[in-house]
């Protein structure tokens, strides 16, 4: 028996009470979500350790902390975000008053992935609540311990008519997509994103797609190679590379490539010791299927750093690969693991052309000391976001809208952008009964030149 239709019906009844339109109710919902997270903090950390081998520092810094900050930020800004906005009214409509009202969509579906199962579930939920929606969440079955904690947290915190979690596998997700929603928010792979978009199209449902993509790093010869290597290694091997904005491959200027690889080797040892498998600060691959996929990809290149694997532990060492064929699967597919291909380039134009020959990335990383080169890269390469001289840390700023471009997705969230994503802008024109100018009605007597002036 499929419980989803009954759940959607219950949420439509809840939304029809208009309780979620009140900003006080929305703020209280955010407060309850934050309190629920804090109450379950220990359970969440244990679940993330079980599912992904995440160290507590990474789990708090990338999962719990960002969501709590998002809740706090949205709570403080909610009144101004939700306030109807007055806009100018053209002379042709005088006297009149024009207003844009941000209003909730209604009942939303949030489909979350496994790699950051708390962050990528509760961050969009916070935006949905702030905008005044009801929500049904589909958590990932690939992070089962975290999915159970999230289901329990939501059940303890919210009326299921307001927020509910649905657990299950891909068939459950397919069943959800066969229903009619008012809005869909999906985070996950590009291939599944296409299926979600096709399902949404049947009901003309608006949606946000936060997808993956091969995020390039370009390291120019004038970069500080030591700092660049340290930041790339941190961004790449955080969560064992299972991050949608992780550096996917590094294009490195010919003259500094060897130095960059040597610095990467030093940084990996500095971070995780001589044997990263024994480090408490290094995560694990999510399951056996992804372990096998990554192990196969690794064979396309020569490991100059790392390369060790232990199937029983789902462990793949932080690995840097040289001699990677540019037309192989390693450079065609999103890696989503701790493998970093390093490819030399002769000049910046060659690097730019290479990135532009690939699908548009979620994020672009460029390391250089030259302002002119930064402007060139930003001007000539399209991407969802970009970071100059660092990696992945841009996601921590709630004032930077986050999202993709092209095959890496569309739509934006985080902070105000998240509120806007889950709101529809309703345009309203207020007019009085008098005066009622006759020139607009037939028979038309106003000279055309005067009509043109009014416009």
Of 379, 131, 147, 344, nearest to 249 (Cα)?
Answer: 344
Q: How far apart are CA 294 and CA 272, in angstroms?
A: 20
Catalytic residue, chosen from 210, 221, 267, 334, is: 210
Neighbour count for residue 403 (Cβ, 10 Å): 20
| Residue 210 known to be catalytic | yes
Q: Prior bond to 435 cis, omega within 30?
A: yes
Question: From residue 82, how far is each of 63, 70, 296 by CA, in Å?
Answer: 26, 16, 50
Cα 159 to chain centroid distance, Å, stands at 27
Within 219-370, residue ranges assigned H as helices are 225-237, 257-272, 288-298, 329-332, 348-356
> Do the beta carbons of residue 217 and residue 247 sit within 8 Å?
yes
Pull the structure tokens for residue 385.
């976001």
Q: If residue 216 lies in a helix (H) or strand (E), which one and from where to where?
A: strand 215-219
Question: From residue 407, how far is each of 109, 170, 192, 382 by CA, in Å?
Answer: 21, 21, 11, 12
Strand, coil or helix: what is 447? coil
CB within 8 Å of 220: residues ≥ 6 apart = 253, 348, 366, 367, 368, 370, 373
> Do the beta carbons of residue 394 and residue 363 sit within 8 Å?
yes
Rounded to 10 degrees, the C-alpha dihedral 50/55/60/61 comes to: -140
CB within 8 Å of 47: residues ≥ 6 apart = 143, 145, 146, 148, 149
> Do the beta carbons of residue 376 and residue 286 sit within 8 Å?
no
Q: Identify the bridge partners of residue 316 per DSSP, sorted by sequence position.
A: 309
State the angle between helix axes of 170-177 and 190-202 in degrees (0 to 180), rounded to the nearest 10: 30
Catalytic residue, chosen from 108, 244, 267, 334, is: 244
> Do the beta carbons of residue 51 and residue 163 sit within 8 Å?
no
Point out the residues that are catalytic: 210, 244
């Amino acid at each position: 028996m499929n419980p989803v239709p009954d759940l959607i019906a219950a949420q439509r009844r809840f939304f029809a009470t208009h309780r979620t339109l009140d900003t006080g109710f929305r703020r209280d919902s955010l407060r309850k979500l934050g309190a629920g997270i804090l109450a379950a903090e220990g359970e969440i950390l244990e679940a993330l350790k079980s599912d992904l081998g995440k160290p507590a520092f990474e789990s708090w810094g990338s999962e719990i902390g960002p969501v709590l900050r998002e809740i706090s930020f949205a709570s403080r800004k909610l009144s101004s975000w939700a306030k109807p906005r007055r806009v100018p009214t053209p002379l042709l409509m005088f006297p009149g008053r024009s207003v844009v009202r941000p209003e909730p969509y209604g009942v939303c579906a949030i489909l979350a992935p496994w790699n950051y199962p708390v962050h990528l579930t509760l961050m969009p939920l916070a935006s949905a609540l702030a905008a005044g929606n009801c929500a049904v969440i589909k958590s990932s079955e690939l992070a089962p311990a975290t999915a159970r904690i999230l289901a329990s947290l939501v059940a303890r915190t919210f009326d299921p008519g307001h927020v509910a979690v649905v657990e299950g596998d891909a068939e459950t997700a397919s069943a959800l997509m066969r229903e009619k929603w008012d809005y869909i928010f999906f985070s996950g792979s590009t291939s599944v994103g296409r299926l979600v978009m096709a399902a949404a199209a049947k009901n003309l449902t608006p949606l946000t797609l936060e997808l993956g993509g091969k995020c390039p790093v370009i390291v120019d010869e004038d970069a500080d190679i030591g700092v660049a290597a340290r930041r790339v290694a941190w961004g790449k091997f955080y969560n064992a590379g299972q991050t949608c904005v992780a550096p996917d491959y590094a294009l490195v200027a010919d003259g500094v490539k060897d130095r960059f690889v040597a610095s990467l080797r030093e940084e990996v040892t500095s971070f995780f010791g001589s044997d990263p498998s024994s480090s408490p600060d290094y995560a694990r691959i999510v399951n056996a299927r992804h372990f096998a996929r990554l192990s196969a990809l690794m064979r396309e290149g020569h490991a100059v750093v790392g390369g060790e694997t232990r199937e029983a532990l789902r462990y793949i060492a932080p690995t840097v690969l040289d001699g990677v064929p540019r037309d192989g699967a390693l450079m065609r597919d999103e890696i989503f693991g701790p493998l970093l291909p390093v490819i030399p380039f002769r000049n910046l134009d060659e690097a730019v052309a290479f990135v532009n020959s690939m699908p548009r990335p979620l994020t672009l990383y460029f390391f250089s000391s030259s302002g002119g080169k930064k402007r060139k890269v930003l001007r000539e390469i399209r991407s969802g976001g970009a970071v100059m001289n660092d990696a992945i840390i841009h996601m921590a700023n709630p004032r930077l809208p986050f999202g993709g471009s092209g095959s890496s997705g569309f739509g934006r969230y985080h902070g105000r952008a998240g509120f806007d994503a889950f709101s529809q802008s309703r345009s309203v024109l207020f007019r009085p009964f008098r005066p009622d100018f006759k020139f607009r009605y037939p028979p038309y007597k106003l000279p055309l030149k005067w009509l043109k002036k009014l416009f």
